[in-house]
Amino acid sequence: MAPPRKALIAITSAHAPLYPDGKETGLFITEALHPFNVFKKAGFEVDLVSETGTYQPDWLSQQKDWLPDEDRAVWEDHSSEFRSKLDKLLKPSDIKADNYGLFFASAGHASLIDYPDAKGLQSIAAKVYTDGGIVSAVYGVPSITPSNDGDTILITSHSCHGGAIFPGIIDPSTGKSVISGRKVTGFTTRGEEEEGVLDTIKSWKRPTIEASAADSGATYVSPAGPWDAFTITDGPIVTGANPASAHVTAEAAVKAFDAL
């Protein structure tokens, strides 16, 4: 029997200074909203959950360049399905994992902080996996580039490191991560260095996506360039390389689900 056509999008509960003047990372709004839209269009019921039932929006994700008018209208409308579900965010104890056939880890840089220890979310994802569903995540990072006049300009891309959850999603039949022995992609360590955030990640005492994939026994496959759209499907595991890959990764997750 096919898994339920119902998707669960995990979001980060964490927040921490990342941007100039101590402005904080958190949930990068479109990293949850865009997959939400893809899954709804594909006929899924969609719920949102975080480890603590709380979230804080990423500062950059609320700025004009990163929240287009169409997305902002949804975000600011508390009666929209997406925003109302954020306003009444679920926590793992509210979730019956059997009801879901697709688990998608959205992000924001803060997910590097809480996803590795998010036992509730990891347990749900593991149940979806063992029940024959799809487990997916997408990765990325914002660029912070100083200008010539000493001010700071924020450029390039959304922040998303959803794959930080994978090492803790355990296949009970092997006792190893569900990505052990599989091919995955994710944001490159080179990209972290180029964008000047590697030291911040180290200060959080968290590994890069490449390192965590290797530690979990996965084969990491790099995109041609850090910002090139790139997604990999290996069985029920679907991963994307960066924010440019977010939409196509969600679509790939739907395609993998429909092939079950």
**Which residues are the active-site residues?**
160-161, 192
Q: Which helix (H) or strand (E) holds 48?
A: strand 45-50
Residue 71: Cβ within 10 Å count: 17
Q: Which residues partner with 125 through β-bridges?
A: none
> Which among 239, 244, 206, 211 is positioned nearest to 225, based on CA atoms?
244
> Which among 204, 168, 206, 162 is positioned nearest to 187, based on CA atoms?
162
Q: Where are the alpha helices (DSSP H) in the chain?
A: 29-41, 69-76, 81-87, 111-114, 119-130, 189-194, 198-203, 209-215, 246-258
Helix and strand tally (H, E) in the chain? 9, 14
